[in-house]
Chain A
């Protein structure tokens, strides 16, 4: 077993353990953190495949942004585990069928792929840059799918904002531009008065 294989098995073991932890842990915050660990280790596996751009983007997008918001929400939820477990046995048969189907489908995909025999990856030239190659492909060969995906994302962003945007009537928000424009003369009027003599 070479050093490379050792790293692969170590990362895979951590990944599988973390993934099992996500679905078995009782505390939702622990589950979210284990999911972070799973993302991080899978990005380590991608780096081993020399897909460093994808690996770093996985960490950047999922670990750095998506999971933070996830954790944010999970922390503030008051999750009652007893209530969540109530329907466990009645849902189990349906869940088991879906799970077995999923496993079979994945197995079928992997089997058709590996039954052709493992092909050695062709050696890459010395100045090969994964990032550059991905960028070139996205903006030349796959430009239409890429742009369509971008438009769908934009629509989703607009829809999410439109669905959640409510202006509160009681809000006392003041535009900072107005605040900056305010001058002391507008707010305070100093009245000069003659002092009056004391009347005893």
Chain B
């Protein structure tokens, strides 16, 4: 392991030292620390965003392949690298990306041009900004802030503006209907989601995401994670997460059969690709939060006494994120779309009462000696 990694680490250190001298030479001793700090943060942001984009691209391929297999089809299998047939379909996301980049962005007549262009950016910005506080390991986090969970709730709640503005600025009634549906749905499910998070912070006694994962650390391996005492919250969060990302079976905002493609019907080319990107990045974000809050984050499912298997790390977090993502894809292949009034009923009349009830139960439970999760 070290034989492979050591030269890379050495090279990184050398590059950083070179950069530091260059910056000091350019801006002088006084400003160099703040400039270097900014450069460092920007590099770290790149280290999160670039793999995320790649992951997102191949998630679309995984989704198409998985749904294909579930429906006894083959899925994309033509586009390959260098004509190697065994790699069938692996180049599909790359080609899709290039196609969307090269297409013309059409702005409809009568559309509000500024807002029309702004909408995909408004959707993409919160989807990426939320990753600032997501920890990938005990030390691997860009901003280890105390109010991390609140920050995520606040930032993700801004995503709805992208959808609403896109629908309004398109000057199309299908887009507008989609935007109205989506806005009502996102606002409704955010309440249930917020209540589910209240349960998590009651159990972990902190808003810090690293702290939440560490609160799930115990001798029992996967039985000390929060999905057991907070099972109703886990379910509500998972389902509300699907609804928040406008995915099947809650995708009435797109509803192909009724309103063509909903809020992004007038978008083409890269503007459309941004909506697509934001949806998948939000999906990965919900999966990551689900893994961090209920499935123990980077902790190993086995007890620590099991040696190498019991050691936590990023691979466990990645496995959990993949598990939740495959669940999302599976939902899409399995369930028929909800009717709109039933979506609202589920959000307001089922989920909110369940979460409020379980907050009361949890509060009482935590006062008794039967509570074994929080020390």
- Interface positions of A (Cβ within 8 A of B): 3, 29, 33, 36, 52-53, 56-57, 59-60, 63-65, 68-69, 71-72, 75, 129-131, 173, 176
8 Å CB contact of B183 from A29, A52, A56, A68: A68
Q: In whole Å, how far is A144's beta carbon from the nearest beta carbon of chain B?
A: 21
| A60 to B197 CA separation, bound complex (whole angstroms) | 14
How many residue-residue contacts, CB under 8 A, span A and B? 65
Question: Which residues from B are CB-within-8-Å of A71?
Answer: 161, 164, 183
Interface residues of A: mostly helix, strand, loop or mixed? Answer: helix
Question: Which residues from B are CB-within-8-Å of A69?
Answer: 187
Question: Which residues from A are CB-within-8-Å of B176?
Answer: 75
- Interface positions of B (Cβ within 8 A of A): 34, 115, 145-147, 150-151, 153-155, 157-158, 160-161, 164-165, 168, 176, 180, 183-184, 187, 190, 207, 341-342, 345
Q: In whole Å, how far is B113's beta carbon from the nearest beta carbon of chain A?
A: 13
- Is the pair A72, B164 in contact by a Cβ cutoff of 8 Å? yes
8 Å CB contact of A64 from B147, B154, B180, B184: B154
- Is the pair B160, A56 in contact by a Cβ cutoff of 8 Å? no
User: From B145, which residue of chain A is reached at the shortest CB distance?
Assistant: A52
Supplied contacts A53-B147, A75-B176, A129-B146, 16 more A-B pairs, CB within 8 Å? A33-B161, A52-B147, A56-B150, A59-B155, A64-B153, A64-B160, A64-B190, A65-B187, A68-B160, A68-B164, A68-B183, A68-B187, A72-B164, A75-B164, A173-B341, A176-B342
- Is the pair B207, A176 in contact by a Cβ cutoff of 8 Å? no
- Is the pair B34, A59 in contact by a Cβ cutoff of 8 Å? no
Question: Which residues from B are CB-within-8-Å of A130?
Answer: 146-147
Question: Which residues from A are CB-within-8-Å of B145?
Answer: 52
8 Å CB contact of B34 from A3, A33, A75: A3
- Is the pair A72, B180 in contact by a Cβ cutoff of 8 Å? yes
- Is the pair A64, B342 in contact by a Cβ cutoff of 8 Å? no
Question: Which residues from A are CB-within-8-Å of B154?
Answer: 56-57, 59-60, 63-64
| A3 to B165 CA separation, bound complex (whole angstroms) | 34
Q: In whole Å, how far is A94's beta carbon from the nearest beta carbon of chain B?
A: 34
| A72 to B145 CA separation, bound complex (whole angstroms) | 33
User: From B155, which residue of chain A is reached at the shortest CB distance?
Assistant: A59
| A53 to B154 CA separation, bound complex (whole angstroms) | 11
Question: Which residues from A are CB-within-8-Å of B146?
Answer: 52, 129-131
| A100 to B237 CA separation, bound complex (whole angstroms) | 50
- Is the pair B190, A33 in contact by a Cβ cutoff of 8 Å? no
Q: In whole Å, how far is A54's beta carbon from the nearest beta carbon of chain B?
A: 10
- Is the pair A56, B165 in contact by a Cβ cutoff of 8 Å? no
- Is the pair B190, A65 in contact by a Cβ cutoff of 8 Å? yes
- 5 A-B pairs within 8 Å (CB atoms) are namely A63-B158, A71-B161, A72-B180, A131-B150, A173-B341
Question: Which residues from B are CB-within-8-Å of A56?
Answer: 147, 150-151, 153-154
Taking A52-B146, A65-B190, A176-B342 as contacts, is the C-beta distance between A60 and B157 under 8 angstroms?
Answer: yes
User: From A29, which residue of chain B is reached at the shortest CB distance?
Assistant: B168
- Is the pair B168, A53 in contact by a Cβ cutoff of 8 Å? no
Question: Which residues from B are CB-within-8-Å of A29?
Answer: 115, 168
| A176 to B147 CA separation, bound complex (whole angstroms) | 40
User: From B118, which residue of chain A is reached at the shortest CB distance?
Assistant: A33
Q: In whole Å, how far is A91's beta carbon from the nearest beta carbon of chain B?
A: 29
Question: Which residues from B are CB-within-8-Å of A72?
Answer: 164, 180, 183-184
| A29 to B168 CA separation, bound complex (whole angstroms) | 9
| A59 to B341 CA separation, bound complex (whole angstroms) | 29
| A176 to B160 CA separation, bound complex (whole angstroms) | 29
User: From B205, which residue of chain A is reached at the shortest CB distance?
Assistant: A132
Question: Which residues from B are CB-within-8-Å of A3?
Answer: 34
- Is the pair B157, A64 in contact by a Cβ cutoff of 8 Å? yes
User: From A76, which residue of chain B is reached at the shortest CB distance?
Assistant: B180
| A4 to B34 CA separation, bound complex (whole angstroms) | 12
Q: In whole Å, how far is B328's beta carbon from the nearest beta carbon of chain A?
A: 23
Q: In whole Å, how far is A166's beta carbon from the nearest beta carbon of chain B?
A: 16
